């Protein structure tokens, strides 16, 4: 029997992901939606001997076609034929959340279950919701739950089962608009009758979207009705807008909110909140214009301290384990060339990179904790004013923060910015944000050369990178035409994430590091070993790596580096982790690297690695989101900046006697 499909839909920050994790546990997969780079999460749960496939749709406030996230969610609801749609609603913001609910109803979808999440927080705020009455008013099952503690999860599964089997048939309520709007809906509906569109989509929904000038629906109607008939419809819409004196989509949105407000009075009441909430108390400090920045500096210093304090001992243990494994294996491989490839190339190169997995995992663990806690939204609010001064929109903080994990999805996240100028500028500077791959290089060099000060050294490099990104944004924003967009962000309630959620998210993000170690970095380590041992091993003659390195050495000498650094940086273009694996192959051990470089050279190399050309995958993402010219410009600019900063640090450091 085919699995029944359950779609999870809801606004951002309503606890949708927590419900997804509670339902599916470890039985989940993360990929991309076909044709787009928006994350697609799927998982499976079993209930009463039946298996259900859960699809976690991107969080959206509405189902218009303004962003890729909204389009993906809408298309799946319309064309994915889910057996059940679970609409997650935040109990503390019912009025705003029900806007999406009503939009789902207007799409003609009846197999809906409303998951009324965060019911405990609503009670603390004095909000009382009668779930049974709410279900009767909306015309669909309503299940109150506290996903964080797992309360109501069995009731949700039962409701999903009943709707999936047709035991509960929803009769969703839909709004009626002003007579003038309703007449226009009827007029457009008649124009669409007889077309193939009405067999695929609800005709009233199509009419509403045309009224709201939805670009995707306009294209569909043009294809089925022709330009002349479409122009006639759009003329009617223009006349209606002239009558109201403003855009019809604003009229519809306003009337929809009025309709929802009337509904909520039937099942909601507001009492006195139980004193000032914990969120209110914390926000007095964390988004304060002075104390907030002090707190943010402390939080991120603590983040790096945590990562290095727990990660470095694990990294050292893993590095020693790979070295011991190589030494143990060597006598069993008779062929000298094969022994060199396996022990020095694969185990030495890939092993050195894999030893940094604990640091990468702990970074993602810490970032996930701050995101799920609700703190990252406060960082966005704090940074908005600063970003504006440097020509970046407030919303750019989200892609910039994502860049701490990986620059590829961070570049793709710029598509959520409405303004083209904002998008291009944010995309241009995003590769300067040190990703987790560059963390492995920074932490290796900082830990090897700076010991107990490694967290402080790493933090200084991150601050430098963010400073360069802001300065670059200020420059680039003066050359890209356009105006900025307003900053709007929701501040969720503070909520301590569960250990299960933290581990799941951290593993999903960091497992890409392991995948790269087994593919791109493995291939790179083998290539580096070959180039450093043929036509003659280093020391007995010039290998290909030496020839290539000596060709680039005059350039890197300006930064106090040698030909080995040049080769490492070159292979780092494939994947930044290759900088470590190259050093592992060329030097053979961490001790040899420590003896070969000074602390100033190590710091310079760490900074240059952080700032120079992004990896090939990031360049590809920039090209996909813009064009080759923009990608080439970003690449050339980053090489130039990295070179200038590297030269400056080296020469200033020498003058200071470092």
Domain CATH code at residue 48: 3.40.50.300
**Same domain, yes or no: 50 and 76:** yes
Same domain, 159 and 184: no
305 and 441 inside one domain: yes
Q: Is 126 in contact with 46 (CB distance < 8 Å)? A: no
Instruction: Name the burial class of residue 29, with classes exposed (0-12), middle (13-18) and buried (19+) by CB atoms within 10 angstroms of its CB.
Output: exposed
Sole residue written with tokens 């807008």: 241
Residues 202 and 140 in one domain: no
Domain termination site, one of 120, 139, 164: 164
The answer to whether residue 11 sits within a structural domain is: yes
The answer to whether residues 14 and 37 belong to one domain is: yes
Q: Is residue 79 part of a domain?
A: yes
Q: Is residue 107 part of a domain?
A: yes
Q: Name the 3-class secondary structure at 10.
A: strand
Cα 613 from Cα 634, distance rounded (Å): 8
* 206 lies in the same domain as 352: no
Co-location of 102 and 228 in the same domain: no
Co-location of 327 and 245 in the same domain: no
Verify that 429 and 303 share a domain, yes or no. Answer: yes
Indicate the residue among 131, 164, 197 that finishes a domain.
164
Q: What is d(CA 39, CA 133) in angstroms, rounded to the nearest whole number?
A: 36
**494 part of a folded domain:** no
Q: Is 482 helix (H, G, I), strand (E, B) or coil?
A: coil
What is the pTM for the complete model shown? 0.66
656 CB-contact burial (10 Å; exposed 0-12 / middle 13-18 / buried 19+): exposed
Residues β-bridged to residue 42: 29, 55
pLDDT of res. 359: 79
Query: Is the residue at 133 inside a domain?
Result: yes
226: CATH = 1.10.287.1770
Q: Quick check: is 277 in a domain?
A: no
Give the CB-side neighbour count of residue 308, counting CA atoms within 13 A.
25
Count of the separate structural domains present in the chain: 3
* Positions of the chain with pLDDT lower than 50, given as ranges: 37
Residue 560, CA atoms < 13 Å, CB-side half-sphere:
25
Please give the DSSP secondary-structure letter assigned to residue 614: -
Q: Which domain holds residue 510?
A: 293-485+499-655
Single residue among 270, 301, 323 that ends a domain in this structure:
270
Q: Are residues 472 and 526 in the same domain?
A: yes
User: Residue 539 region, left (φ>0) first, then alpha (ψ -120 to 50), else beta?
Assistant: left
Q: What token pair was written down for 268? A: 């909601």
**One domain for residues 457 and 344:** yes
* pLDDT for 556: 92
Same domain, 198 and 263: yes
Interatomic CA distance for residues 528 and 582, integer angstroms: 6
Q: Is residue 589 part of a domain?
A: yes
Going by their DSSP bridges, the two strands 268-270 and 28-32 should be labelled as: unpaired
Domain presence at residue 385: yes
């Amino acid at each position: 029997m085919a699995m029944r499909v359950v779609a999870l839909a809801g606004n951002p920050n309503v606890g949708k992901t927590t419900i997804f994790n509670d339902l599916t546990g470890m039985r989940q997969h993360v990929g991309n939606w076909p044709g787009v780079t928006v994350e697609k999460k799927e998982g499976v749960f079993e209930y009463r001997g039946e298996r259900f496939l859960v699809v976690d749709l991107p969080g959206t406030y509405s189902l218009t076609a303004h962003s890729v996230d909204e389009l993906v969610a809408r298309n799946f609801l319309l064309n994915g034929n889910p057996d059940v749609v679970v609409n997650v609603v935040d109990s503390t913001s019912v009025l705003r959340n029900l806007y999406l609910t009503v939009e789902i109803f207007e799409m003609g979808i009846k197999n809906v279950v409303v998951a009324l999440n965060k019911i405990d927080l609503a009670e603390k705020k004095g909000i009382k919701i009668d779930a049974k009455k709410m279900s009767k008013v909306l015309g669909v099952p309503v299940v109150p739950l506290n996903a964080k503690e797992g309360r109501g999860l069995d009731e949700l599964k039962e409701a999903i089962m009943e709707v999936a089997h047709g035991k509960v048939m929803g009769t969703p309520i839909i709004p009626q608009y002003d007579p003038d709007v309703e007449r226009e809906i009827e007029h457009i509906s008649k124009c669409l009758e007889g077309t193939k569109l009405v067999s695929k989509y609800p005709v009233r929904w199509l009419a509403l979207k045309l009224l709201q000038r939805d670009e995707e629906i306009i294209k569909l109607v043009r294809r089925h009705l022709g330009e002349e008939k479409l122009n006639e419809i759009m003329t009617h819409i223009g006349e209606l807008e002239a009558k109201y004196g403003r855009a019809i989509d604003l009229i519809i949105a306003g009337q929809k909110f009025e309709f929802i407000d009337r509904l909520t009075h039937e099942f909601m009441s507001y009492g006195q909140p139980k004193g000032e909430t914990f969120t209110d108390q914390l926000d007095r400090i964390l988004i304060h214009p002075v104390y907030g920045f002090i707190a943010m500096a402390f939080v991120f210093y603590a983040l790096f301290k945590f990562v290095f304090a727990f990660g470095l001992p694990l990294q050292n243990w893993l590095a020693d384990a790979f070295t011991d494994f190589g030494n143990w294996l060597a006598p069993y491989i008779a062929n000298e060339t094969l022994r060199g490839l396996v022990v020095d190339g694969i185990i030495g190169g890939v092993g050195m990179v894999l030893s940094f997995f604990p640091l990468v995992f702990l970074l993602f663990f810490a970032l996930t904790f701050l995101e799920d806690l609700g703190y990252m939204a406060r960082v966005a609010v704090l940074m908005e004013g600063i970003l504006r001064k440097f020509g970046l929109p407030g919303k750019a903080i989200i892609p910039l923060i994502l860049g701490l994990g990986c620059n590829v999805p961070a570049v793709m996240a710029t598509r959520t910015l409405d303004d083209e100028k904002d998008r291009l500028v944010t995309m241009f500077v995003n590769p300067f944000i040190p990703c987790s791959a560059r963390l492995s290089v920074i932490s290796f060099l900082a830990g090897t050369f700076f010991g107990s000060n490694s967290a402080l050294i790493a933090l200084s490099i991150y601050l430098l990178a963010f400073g360069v990104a802001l300065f670059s944004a200020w420059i680039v924003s003066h050359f890209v035409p356009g105006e900025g967009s307003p900053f709007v962000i929701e501040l969720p309630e503070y909520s301590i994430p569960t250990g299960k959620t933290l581990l799941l998210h951290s593993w999903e993000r960091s497992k890409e590091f392991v995948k790269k170690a087994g593919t791109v970095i493995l291939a790179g380590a083998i290539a580096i070993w070959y180039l450093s041992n043929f036509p003659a091993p280093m020391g007995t003659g010039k290998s290909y790596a030496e020839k290539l390195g000596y060709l680039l050495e005059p350039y890197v000498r300006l930064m106090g580096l040698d030909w080995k650094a040049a080769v490492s940086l070159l292979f780092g273009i494939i994947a930044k982790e290759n900088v470590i694996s190259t050093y592992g192959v060329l030097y053979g051990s961490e001790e040899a690297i420590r003896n070969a470089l000074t602390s100033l050279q190590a710091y310079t190399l760490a900074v240059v690695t952080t700032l120079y050309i992004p990896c090939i995958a990031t360049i590809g993402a920039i090209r996909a989101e813009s064009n080759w010219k923009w990608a080439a410009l970003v690449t050339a600019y980053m090489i130039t900046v990295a070179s200038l900063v590297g030269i400056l640090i080296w020469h200033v450091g020498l003058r200071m006697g470092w």
